[in-house]
Structure 1
Amino acid sequence: MEPGSFWTALIWAIVPMLLLLAAIWWVDRYEKEPLRLLGLALVFGGVLAPAITYALDRAFDIATSLSSQQIVPEPSLGVGTPLVEEVVRGLAILAVFLLVRFEIDDLLDGLVYGGIVGLGFGAAANFVGIWNTPSLGSDTDSSLYTSLISQLNHVFYGAVIGLALAAVRRREFPILLGAIWWVDRYEKEPLRLLGLALLFGGLLAPAIAYALDRAFDIATSLSSQQIVPEPSLGIGTPLVEEVVRGLAILAVFLLVRFEIDDLLDGLVYGGIVGLGFGAAANFVGIWNTPSL
């Protein structure tokens, strides 16, 4: 099974999508949203938003998740590269929210609809990206494994946007700034606990991930921002840091468990850990990258 094949692309797009869809369905098990509306969100995320993004990709040569999983020419990269698909996906989620606004009763509804849109977008990105990727002549390719994690990213981003829009819908805050401190302004978490989460995310987790990177030659976000040798790539490549970061979040949750009262608290602490990890990854990766 290798990139460039229609059936490979279809399988690696559909199977992860079904598994993640089952997870979202389970999260929403107590007050299920109508199937026709979830289907609408999936169509917006899996057809409409990717079609617009793909058109922009081709028209303006802006690389997105719907580009092939290969080296992208530097002129195609820039501030528009990550923003194009996020704006399009965000507008798709907003359109869905306007259509199903009377069904948005709480933050969980926003998380579900946003996650479904992100799920559809991720499946489409996997399909197009893998199908357009030239085969290197091997049975498997690292980009296939990486696509599994990228689909999780699409679901996460969509869910966060949906969560924020649901909060706006309920008028829990007047404007959307995206800052964690602003999101948590009504019932502030103790600064010492947020600092603890930042310490776990910005120092402990990156130190462990970096040690594993160097010890086992597993490329992570803490590797230099350059071409990584093929032997360093594989299913462990995206999973190592996700597992380490997940364990760091779990450790923080165990330490601050008496402060976790609702979904928003979980979002804040998890976000702080991820924020610290991202900052550390940027610092180490950019510092270790040789200048061209």
Structure 2
Amino acid sequence: MENGNYILIDKSIIAEGCAYDFSIYYFHNKSKIKKLQNKGVVIDSDDLLYFEQANKLYVHAHEHSSYKKFMQENFVGKSGNPVSFASKFNSIYKNASKALNDLFDNPEKLSNYKESKKIVNELVESVLDDDFAIKSLMEIATHDYYTHTHSINVSIYALSLGNFLSLSTKELEELGEAALLHDLGKSKIDSNIINKKGSLTIQEFKIMKKHPSFGVSIGLKLGIKNKNILEGIKYHHEKMDGSGYPNGLYNDEIPLYAKIICICDIFDALTSQRSYKQAMTSYEALKLMKVEMNRHIDLKLLNKMILMFK
């Protein structure tokens, strides 16, 4: 819910020639709510231009039941049953995979970055959905480890945890973007190092440790100015005992988004299948993190993540 009275809806339902049994709103200048379309008014081609410019759409809380009824009656699968949250999210995941693949292939292309922003918005909408369930997302997520699908998974887990922590929509958008882009700097590192099976040499690890700073440099070139997003990218390998990189930050010196991304990064790496190792179960991964990594990660956040999975 936004401002206590307005609820986020699925923007993909908007189509020319349609009329809805509820009014549609958007936030003007990110603060003032304005009505975009009156209840029962047919959408024409001119109206569509305004809908395209609106980043997110909302209904008033008292018309939310009309919106839910519309979704149940109109968004049906081949079986005649309403399209499930999992089915809808599967489509988002596939689009995200393509967008991230393009972004890692050409990380400084502005249009690729803009597509990744759309993905973040869709992921945020998903975790705020009434039917959201972390179990559904884990069933859909690809657990063969690739850099771009890993970034999507980390974003999903980070947003799920952020939502569990009751972060605001704006904070979720920042966190989601930082998580989605956290490994973007790896696009500047030799693929032989990125894809190496087994342990890196000391020299290779020195090179690998540069990827957070590379990611920030790419982000700045793309026009990212938000400090929270840039810090999430830069500090996701910092450790609570000060032994991390690139700055050796200690405990509360590490920003919240970086702490969240760090935990989700480790969790996805442990639960993903690689050519040289088997994937752990969620239980095994969380147990290992709590027992063997307790000096490195924020245990309060890890405990929240464990509660979230329960």
**TM-score (normalizing by structure 2):** 0.29
Bigger helix share? 1
Larger Rg: 2
Bigger strand share? 2
**TM-score (normalizing by structure 1):** 0.30
